[in-house]
Amino acid sequence: MEAAMSVTPGAVTLILANPSPDSAAEVPGIVVQVVDLKPIGNRFTFMASDGKSKVKAMLPTHFVPEVRSGNLQNLGLIRVLDYTCNTIPNQSDKALIITKCEVVSQALESEIKNEVNKEEKKPAILLNPKEEHVVSSKPTNAPPPAPFVLKPKQELKSASQIVNEQRGNAAPAARLAITRRVHPLISLNPYQGNWVIKVRVTSKGNLRTYKNARGEGCVFNVELTDEDGTQIQATMFNDAAKKFYPMFDLGKVYYISKGSLRIANKQFKTVQNDYEMTLNDNAVVEEAEGEAFIPQIQYTFAKIDQLGPYVNGRELVGKTTRASSSVRCFCSYSLDVVP
């Protein structure tokens, strides 16, 4: 198989060894095969294969047109240009979230297997006894071979060093664009650090005061939605609540970093997400001026006879009602028990 139509040997190992690159410039352009491509909700999942190993992978919603058009196909090859790995809850495995890729080849005739083994069996990398004899039988008066001199290590620049130089030479506004690598909300988990998200404020609560055994304080929360339509609830307490309450405006888009995640409390969560976010006063919130992406509206529907579990909950439940033979209206309800 030609090199252009094959996978990168050991690609899965390379990905798992660097599960969250600091920037897209540090991703070496790994080629994997798409195996068992199938839809899950409004996204597509597949197994990324290097011919020997596989890892579960997910394509965010902006790749859906590529799949629907037939450009990105099952058994095809893609070059991964940017990604992050997400820990699967209650499992030791990781899920590969591909944030940027390009199609190398459409569907091949079959799944590639044992490509790594074939590479390892090449005889060119072995020194056989005959070659050793030839080397040892050279005349002693022959001039020694020219020494192989390695360049000093500091002269070899890594991708991160090049990016850092670009940051230093760029203007302040351009420097922010270079350093900002946006992560989709679906890729975040409590064990991941150094992430940046770009989200729209789709709901903003009131600044509320509370009093408990530990004292008094204030709190408020917002619901954030990214361009894939994934939502998460972010909560701020005390100094952080006072700092960010006037900064967050309903409907505006922001870059957010240095927050923390934890398992969502089902009693208080208002969106479909296993995690919830907390922003303290060290979090970074910047308005993304000029950004106009529109998050997808997601509805959670339930039949009337299945509303029991939602009673006294905070999660909104959508219900469809037929207004006429051709028009449907969508209504949202927060269910409370009335004594």
Alpha-carbon distance 180 to 168, whole Å?
14
Q: How much is the pTM?
A: 0.50
Residue 338 has pLDDT above 70, yes or no: no
Please report the pLDDT score of residue 311 as a whole number.
Answer: 64
Average pLDDT score over residue span 197-219: 92
Average pLDDT score over residue span 265-273: 79
Return the percentage of the chain with pLDDT > 70, whole number. Answer: 64
- pLDDT tens by residue, 4-58: 578 999 999 988 888 878 776 777 789 999 999 998 877 889 999 999 999 999 8
The two structure tokens encoding residue 152: 């000093």
Distances, alpha carbon 206 to alpha carbons 212, 218, 249, in Å:
19, 10, 12
Residue 232 has pLDDT above 50, yes or no: yes
Residue 205 has pLDDT above 90, yes or no: yes
- CB burial readout 45-78, b (16+ within 10 A) else e: bbbbbbbbbbbbbbbbbebbebbeeeebbbbbbb
Please report the pLDDT score of residue 131 as a whole number.
Answer: 44
DSSP 194-246: S-EEEEEEEEE---EEEEETTEEEEEEEEEEE-TTS-EEEEEEEHHHHHHHTT
Please report the pLDDT score of residue 319 as a whole number.
Answer: 41
- pLDDT tens by residue, 278-333: 999 999 999 988 776 655 555 556 677 777 666 655 555 554 333 333 333 444 44
Alpha-carbon distance 221 to 237, whole Å?
9
Q: Whole-number mean pLDDT of the chain?
A: 75
Bridge partners of 45, per DSSP, are: 38, 58
DSSP 266-281: TTT--SS-SEEEE--T
Bridge partners of 77, per DSSP, are: 33, 105
Please report the pLDDT score of residue 331 as a whole number.
Answer: 44
Residues 6+ apart with CB under 8 A from 37: 44, 45, 46, 67, 72, 73, 74
Please report the pLDDT score of residue 117 as a whole number.
Answer: 46
